[in-house]
Structures are given as C-alpha cells and as structure tokens.
Amino acid sequence: MTEVVAALLRDGERFLICQRPAHKARGLLWEFVGGKVEPGETKEQALVRECREELDVTVEPLNAYMEVVHAYPDLTVRLTLFEARIASGVPKKLEHNDLRWITPEEIPLFQFCPADETILDRIQADCVRAKIESLRDADYQAFQSALLPTVPPESVRGVRIPVLRKLARALSGKAMGDAFLRVLPHGCYEENLLHGFLLERFREPEEAMEALERFLPYIDNWAVCDTVNPKALAKRPDDLLAHIRVWLTSARPYTVRYGVGMLQRYFLDERFDPELLALVAALPTGEYYVETMTAWFFATALAKQERETLPYFTEPDRLPPSVRRKAVRKALESRRIPEPLKRRLRALRETENT
C-alpha cells in the first residue's frame, strides 16, 4: 500500500486541480496536487513538501477531508486529501501540464484519476448540502422537529417540501445530483428527503430499484419513509412485489414500514390478492412505526376490499390486538369508510372495551 497525500486548495467556491504530465502514468488526467509520503515524514509534512515542489507555494494543512483506497493496475494507494490553505506564493506549473481553478459544477468537464472519483462525489454532495443550508427556515424547523420525535432537532433544517422538490428538479439528471445520490449516509433530514425526491425522477424501473435498495438502509424516520415513491417501480409490479416480500422480512423497521406502504399504494386495487392481507397480518409486533403503517394498510384495505378485509377486524385472531385497535381507529377516521360500517366498528370496539 502506497501512502499518498493531496491538497484541497480553495479560492472561494473554486478549488485547484492539476493535469498530470503526458509521459507519466495516468498521463493528462486531472488530480489534486500531492504525492507520496516519504519514509520518516508525517502526512502533513509530505503535503507541505509536495506543494512546494509541484506548485512553488507554502501551504498550511488544516484537516483531513477524506481518505480513500484505490487499486490501480500498477499500485494500490491510500490517498488522504487535506483541506489546506496557501500561506504564501502563487501556484505555478512546475511539474504539471496545466492548472485550473474550477467550481463543483465544472467537475464533469474534466477527466480525473480514478482514485479521485469518490472524493469528487463528496465535493459535489457538499455543494448540495450548502444549498440546503442556505434554504433553512428557523421557524419551520421548530414546527417540523415537533413532528419527528425520532429525529434529533439539530438534524432538521426547516426546508419546506416544495422547495426541496424544486431543488430536486434542478439537480435531476445532472452530475451533481448523481454524485449526491452516491454519497451515503447523509447529514440531515432534508438531505434524505431530497434523496427520495431525486429517486422519484428515475424513469427506468431497474435503475430506480437499484438506487432505492441503496437508500433504504439509511431511512430512519416515518416522514422520509412515507414520502419516497419512485413511480417507475410500478412499471414492473411483479418485480416490485418480489422486493416487497424481502423488505417485509428485514430487521430494519423502516424498511418493513416502507414495504407495507408500497403494498398499500400499489396492491389494493386491480393487483389485489387476499394473500397479501395475511402476509401483512403476520408481521412481528412491537415496532410502533411498523404497527401504525400496518394499521393504515388494513384501514385502506377495508375501504377498497371490504369483503376480504372485514374478517381481520371482526375475528379476534386475525390481527394482533395492538394492530387491530390502531386499524379500527384509522378506519373510523377515514372518509372512505361508509357510516354503516363505521357503526359496526364502533360496536366491536365497545364490546371489546366492556
């Protein structure tokens, strides 16, 4: 393993990249200034030396921005990229073919060394994070946090959903949006919402499913779980149902909740199968946010498929008691349940309470 260091030198929104000489390995590809750590050097000392040798500048290393390991055909490198500032001097082309100061939006215009690709994704994702930070609303943050008891208040920025959807439209299909999707986990609630809104803009079901599977393990609250809905998945209902069956066996409660929610969205109408009721009824209990979604599922099923669903309300052993109580409450709150059926549900509830 070859230890390599590099510098992320910034000038406002721009950062410095360097083009490798044509005669060297990975010739004419772009990279960050830096090089190998020599025996006896610290990484910081190596960074200062490399910047002096390659650019004729003195730099001050600030903090390690990111570390990556990459295997080239000729060597494997562990690259540590440091945030750094130029203490003195102006960058000169002492060893490189060219130098450029670029913005994150300009990254796609250049071909970089493969070891830098993960780093470039993070730089672009950080740019998206900065956009979210610029949109924060303190008053709405307080309101939103109150609705998200499982999310730390400091992880909520208070950006309204229409604003995030507009940002998703601006990023969709762009290199920066793609990079943002690759960088997981995210740092705040709104970043996860934005991720979900970007998934909704996928048109091909295979790509949407692949991206969704990468994201599901990072969903950690009911709001993101219930909002994400890539409609492209409905183009392949059999494939979607196969994935749902796997999600329902997950140890992650929000993955299970997501699976139940997708059954509710797409499999209670023309694709309805009574076997799905039994599948959801058999889910383990004890997870509040799984139970509430299960109850919502059965209340919706009762509105759409009353004959097959009603026994799960009227027969005590069909649903766990905690789920049945929540399902009855949901059904009584629903405008889609006719009043005669609501009266029957109230009577059942009163009988159970006596």
At 354, is the pLDDT very low, low, confident or very high (cuts 50, 70, 90)?
A: low
At residue 73 the predicted structure's pLDDT band, cuts being 50, 70 and 90, is: confident
Residue 130 CA to residue 228 CA, distance in Å, equals 22
Question: Would you state the structure tokens that stand for residue 49, as one six-digit string?
Answer: 């030396």
Q: pLDDT tens across 271-320, in order?
A: 999 999 999 999 998 999 999 999 999 999 999 999 999 999 999 889 99
Torsion of Cα atoms, 228 then 233 then 256 then 305, to 10°:
100
Share of the chain above pLDDT 70, in %: 99
Per-residue pLDDT band at 255 (split at 50, 70, 90): very high
What amino acid is encoded at 103 in this protein? Answer: T
**How many residues appear in the chain?**
354
According to DSSP, the residues that pair with 68 across neighbouring strands are 79
Q: What would the pLDDT profile of 156-208 be if each residue is shown by its tens digit? A: 999 999 999 999 999 999 999 999 999 999 999 999 999 999 999 999 999 99
Q: Which CATH superfamily is domain 2-110 in?
A: Nucleoside Triphosphate Pyrophosphohydrolase (3.90.79.10)
Look at residue 1 and tell me whether its pLDDT is greater than 90: no
Contact 60, 83 (CB under 8 A): no
CA angle 154, 160, 161 (to 5 degrees): 115
Q: Domain ranges in the chain? A: 2-110, 135-235, 236-354
